[in-house]
Amino acid sequence: MEQTVAKDVEIRNIYKSYGSNVILNGINLEVRQGELLTLLGPSGCGKTTTLNVIAGFINPDRGDIYIKGSRMNGVPTYKRDLGMVFQTYSLFPHKTVYQNLDFGLSIQKIDKKEKKRRIENVLELVKMGGMESRYPRELSGGQRQRVAIARALVVQPKLLLLDEPLSNLDAKLRLELRTEIKRLQKEIGLTTLFVTHDQEEALSMSDRIILMNGGKIEQAGTPSQIYEHPQTEFVFQFIGKSNSLEGRITSVSQEMVQVKLDNGAIVSVAADHVMGNRDAGQAGDKVKLYIRPEKVEVVSGSSSLSPGNSFKASVRQMNYLGAAWEVELTWMGVSLQALCPKINPDWIHEGEVNIGWKLSDMMLTRKT
């Protein structure tokens, strides 16, 4: 018997427009108890508006919002029992770290002894113990954001909302804090809704991802589901890098679809790797194929490849990225990109290399 997972947040059929500009177009989603759910998408897709609807900063035109089973339509933000962390730190510059954390507790009328206990505990949790008397101007950007997180946690909210909290930090601090946020969230078990446009943040931190585009949800799933099994072209192109190729179907069987590409190459695709779980089509249909650079295997011209699609290509350029090499290839007149953990420097001089990929490494979608 399948176990029912409790929902801490549920929004049903939410619409929001400003004049003729539709921001949210019938959004339905749920945030499960104890999970970190990320709203991901490009600027203007509706992710921050969705967060603001849940927080109560924006009233939807239609639809319902539920938190912990209670309908929240019309309930003011301060009565929704939320913790929020914004892109800007929003700390009181004239107050110390302790005083910043004390502010929300004073509104809740928590007694002095309990305040002290909570503040000390949460500062230890965010690794800011001993800095209670410092002012925001005396802290680094990463420390200020830790204080902002601590301030959201100290009031012991039902739900934590994070609106692009790492976007103002440099790359190293972003990496450090996203690890800390994930650790904190799992340690406390607090249901968390995270908004970002950064796909790496979303993939590394989330239990599930809601990928939005144009006020709608393109796909919802675990990070691996979103990356490995995209349901639309938008998802494939937005998440990670991809090579795209076009052609026409030549044959369809139960196991595979054979396609003649516009460059003349014949490739095979696993029949169940069609975007949107639709049927592949029939002979003569125009299709588009996608393959991730890391799925393209490259070996020297004298070496053999794993079973699957196999072709000859030439290396145009190799770029060192640290953990891997980005290899720019020319394949029967088209450009192709591969991502290789190791390379042979002689490839650039050999003139020809072997490239290939498994049938299950490509995704197919029909062109309309």
How far is residue 183's CA from residue 176's CA, in Å, rounded to a whole number? 11
Question: pLDDT digit string (tens) for 54-64?
Answer: 999 999 999 99
Same domain, yes or no: 27 and 154? yes
Q: Structural domain of residue 290, as residue ranges?
A: 243-366
Is residue 238 domain-resident?
A: no
Question: Does 345 lie in the same domain as 212?
Answer: no
Mean pLDDT, rounded, for 287-313:
85
The model's pLDDT over 169-200, given as tens digits with 9 standing for 90+, comes to 788 878 888 888 898 899 889 999 999 999 99
Q: Do residues 266 and 160 share a domain? A: no
Clarify whether residues 252 and 147 are in a common domain.
Answer: no
pLDDT at residue 287 is higher than 70: yes
Is residue 2 one of the residues assigned to a domain?
A: no
Asked, for residue 1, whether it belongs to a domain, the answer is no
Please check the confidence at residue 38 and state whether its pLDDT lies above 80: yes
Tell me whether residue 109 is in a domain: yes
How far apart, in whole angstroms, are the C-alpha atoms of residue 97 and residue 153?
14
Write the CA distances from 275 to 223, 278, 342, integer angstroms: 17, 7, 31
Same domain, 227 and 336: no
pLDDT band per the 50, 70, 90 thresholds, residue 70: very high
C-beta neighbour count of 360 within 10 angstroms:
14
* Position 166 in a domain: yes
Q: Is 171 part of a structural domain of the chain?
A: yes
Task: Find the CATH number of the domain harbouring 62.
Answer: 3.40.50.300
- Mean pLDDT on 25-38: 96
Does the pLDDT of residue 146 top 50, yes or no?
Answer: yes
Q: Are residues 260 and 172 in the same domain?
A: no
pLDDT value of position 277: 66
pTM of the entire predicted model: 0.87
Do 79 and 171 lie in one domain? The reply is: yes
Residue 1 clears pLDDT 50, i.e. is over it? no
Does 272 lie in the same domain as 222? no
- Inform me whether the pLDDT recorded for 301 exceeds 80: no
Count of domains observed in the chain: 2
What is the pLDDT at residue 71? 95
Most confident of 154-158, 246-250, 252-256: 246-250
Domain end point (choices 232, 258, 286): 232
Give the residue-averaged pLDDT of 284-292. 94
CATH number at residue 311: 2.40.50.100
Tell me if 72 is assigned to some domain: yes
Mean pLDDT of 46-53: 96
216 and 96 together in one domain: yes
| Shared-domain flag, residues 69 and 127 | yes
Q: What is the pLDDT of residues 198-247, one digit of tens each?
A: 999 999 999 999 999 999 999 999 999 999 889 899 999 899 899 999 99
Average pLDDT (39-48) is 94
Residue 3 has pLDDT above 70, yes or no: no
Of the three residues 203, 232, 261, the one that is the final residue of a domain is: 232
Same domain, 218 and 116: yes
Confidence of residue 326 (pLDDT cuts 50, 70, 90): very high
Q: Are residues 177 and 218 in the same domain?
A: yes
pLDDT recorded at residue 104: 86
The torsion region of residue 44 among left (phi > 0), alpha (psi -120 to 50) and beta comes to left
Residue 307: band (very low, low, confident or very high) from pLDDT cuts 50, 70, 90: low
Mean pLDDT across the chain: 90
Dihedral sign (CA 358, 336, 201, 183): positive
Is 5's pLDDT higher than 80?
A: no
What is the C-alpha separation between 219 and 231, in angstroms, rounded?
Answer: 7
> Which of 232, 261, 294 is the C-terminal boundary of a domain?
232
In the sheet with 7-18, reading across from the earlier edge strand, the strands are 21-32, 7-18, 62-67, 70-71
